[in-house]
């Protein structure tokens, strides 16, 4: 029997490293972890204790029911017993067993750090498929965390789309400008006035909210064009959301649509499934090479400190990784 070192969420804002016995099942392979990505969105809900019940089936990498103590995580890059570099939607632990069909084999065009972004890239591609951008439109992304930045990366590759990126962290400005986008910091200028100026008074055709902020969603509603579409891609956990629907939402016939990565949208037609989307994810990782967004490295033993660090929302932090080979 192998024993893994695993990250356990044991109570709100309490994370511990514990041993976790591993029992191999028939036809599974053994994987040793190399590097893991921490989600500053979903995982912080577990860290803070504001997760709803009844979502177990929607969360890959969840070890059990949504109650403490639990093991979670879904971005694990390792090397299997055959010497292949693989990605697995596995919890934060130093080794694991998996069925061959649940592993994604990585080729040389994707580095270990690029592979850490696989779940976020799959989410971003799903958002774009739900958004269905049209050439010539003005589209905004609200919230430049990791998913928002990858959505922006993908949109910036769509020629003849006018892209606006919105975030309250001024450190995101040079990134936005590097993508050829207009950057708006609502703490420094009026969102409404800036959008009016960029669009010539028309408003936004489409927008993506990945800020996990209801007030940001409300602000987006106020700057949308007639019959505009907002993709709400945030996960609010157990927090209730209050919106005013009597103004712009009603008058402009707006649509707010949820995007969630667990399923492929039926509007794409029968030719699309998760396997086909994953092929596109791997291509995007190879071409975009998002490893430049890794800002902070922690050893696996430092995981409790890493979560505390992320929860403080540092200005320049984008993606935090756990390095299993770092002492």
Report pLDDT digits (tens) over 117-175.
999 999 999 999 999 999 999 999 999 999 999 999 999 999 899 999 999 999 999 99
Give the global pTM: 0.94
Same-domain check for residues 132 and 107: no
Cα 319–285–295 angle (5° rounding)?
20
Binned at pLDDT 50, 70 and 90, residue 52 comes out as: low
User: Residues 185, 187, 188, 192: is their CA dihedral positive or negative?
Assistant: positive
Burial 81-92 (b: 16+ CB within 10 A, else e): eeeebbbbbbbb
Residue 66 is predicted with a pLDDT of: 76
The arithmetic mean of pLDDT across residues 28-53, rounded, is 90
For residues 85 and 112, is the Cβ–Cβ distance under 8 A? yes
**Tokens in use for 33?**
């972890």
Average pLDDT in the 184-208 region? 97
Number of domains into which the chain is organized: 2
The answer to whether residues 254 and 293 belong to one domain is no
Check pLDDT > 90 for residue 76. Answer: yes
Q: Is 5 helix (H, G, I), strand (E, B) or coil?
A: strand
Q: Is the pLDDT reported for residue 61 higher than 60?
A: no
Strands 2-11 and 76-80 come out as unpaired
Residue with the two structure tokens 């992304």 = 141
| Residues 88 and 172 both lie in one domain | no
Dihedral sign (CA 273, 276, 281, 287): negative
283, part of any domain: no
How far is residue 50 from each of residues 28, 92, 213, 270, 311, measured CA to CA in Å?
Answer: 34, 20, 15, 36, 13
- For residue 56, pLDDT over 90 is answered with no
**CB of 207 closer than 8 Å to CB of 231:** yes
Determine the pLDDT at residue 64: 58
Percent of the chain having pLDDT more than 90? 83
Same domain, yes or no: 260 and 191: yes
pLDDT band at 111 (very low <50, low <70, confident <90, very high): very high
What pLDDT does residue 121 have? 98
- Please say if the pLDDT value at position 62 is more than 70: no
Confidence of residue 60 (pLDDT cuts 50, 70, 90): low
CATH classification of the domain holding 227: 3.40.50.720
Residue with tokens 């922690």: 298
167 and 258 part of one domain = yes
Flag whether 277 is in a domain: no
Residue 164 lies in a domain: yes
Same domain membership, residue 25 and residue 101:
yes
Contact indicator for 168, 187 with CB cutoff of 8 Å: yes
Kindly state whether residues 154 and 253 are assigned to the same domain. yes
Looking up residue 102, the CATH number of its domain turns out to be 3.90.180.10
Q: ∠ CA 257-262-267 to the nearest 5 degrees?
A: 50
> What pLDDT is stored for residue 53 in this prediction?
61
- Pair (97, 207) in one structural domain: no
Q: Tell me the C-alpha to C-alpha distance, in Å, between residue 114 and each of 69, 81, 107, 119, 322.
A: 30, 22, 11, 11, 14
pLDDT attached to residue 1: 75
pLDDT for the residue 55: 57
Confidence category of residue 236, pLDDT binned at 50, 70, 90: confident
Whether the predicted pLDDT of 309 surpasses 60: yes
Residue 141 and residue 166 in one domain:
yes
- Return the DSSP state at 52: P
Domain residue limits at 73: 2-111+289-323
Q: Is residue 258 part of a domain?
A: yes
Domain-embedded: residue 38: yes
- Span of 49-58, 108-117, 222-231 with lowest mean pLDDT: 49-58
Find, among 181, 106, 111, the residue nearest to 148 by Cα: 181
Work out the mean pLDDT of the chain and round it to a whole number: 93
165 in a domain, yes or no? yes
Share of the chain above pLDDT 70, in %: 96
Q: How far apart are CA 113 and CA 126, in angstroms?
A: 21
């Amino acid at each position: 029997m192998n024993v893994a070192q695993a990250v356990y969420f044991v109570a709100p804002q309490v994370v511990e490293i514990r041993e976790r016995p591993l029992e191999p099942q028939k036809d599974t392979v053994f994987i040793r972890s190399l590097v893991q990505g921490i989600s500053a969105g979903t995982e912080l809900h577990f860290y803070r204790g504001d997760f709803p019940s009844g979502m177990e089936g929607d969360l890959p990498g969840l070890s059990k029911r949504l109650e403490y103590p639990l093991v979670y995580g879904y971005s694990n890059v390792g090397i299997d017993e055959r010497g292949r570099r693989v990605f697995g939607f596995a919890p934060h632990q130093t080794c694991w067993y998996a069925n061959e069909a649940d592993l994604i084999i990585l080729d040389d065009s994707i580095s270990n750090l690029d592979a850490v972004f696989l779940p976020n890239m799959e989410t971003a591609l799903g958002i774009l498929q739900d958004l269905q951008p049209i050439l010539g439109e003005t589209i905004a992304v609200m919230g430049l965390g990791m998913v928002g930045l990858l959505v922006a990366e993908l949109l910036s590759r769509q020629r003849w789309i006018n892209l606006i990126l919105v975030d309250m962290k001024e450190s995101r400005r040079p990134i936005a400008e590097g993508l050829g986008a207009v950057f708006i910091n609502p703490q420094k200028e009026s969102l409404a006035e800036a959008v009016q100026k960029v669009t010539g008074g028309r408003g936004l055709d489409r927008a993506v909210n990945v800020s996990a902020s209801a007030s940001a969603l409300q602000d987006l509603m106020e700057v949308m064009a007639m019959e505009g579409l907002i993709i709400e891609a945030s996960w609010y956990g157990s927090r209730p959301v209050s919106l005013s629907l009597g103004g712009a939402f009603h008058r402009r016939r707006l649509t707010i649509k949820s995007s969630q990565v667990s399923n492929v949208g039926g509007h794409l037609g029968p030719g699309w499934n998760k396997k086909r989307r994953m092929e596109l994810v791997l291509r995007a990782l190879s071409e975009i090479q998002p490893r430049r967004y890794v800002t902070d490295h922690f050893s696996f033993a430092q995981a409790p400190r890493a979560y505390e660090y992320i929860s403080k929302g540092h200005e320049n932090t984008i993606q935090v990784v756990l390095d299993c080979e770092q002492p």
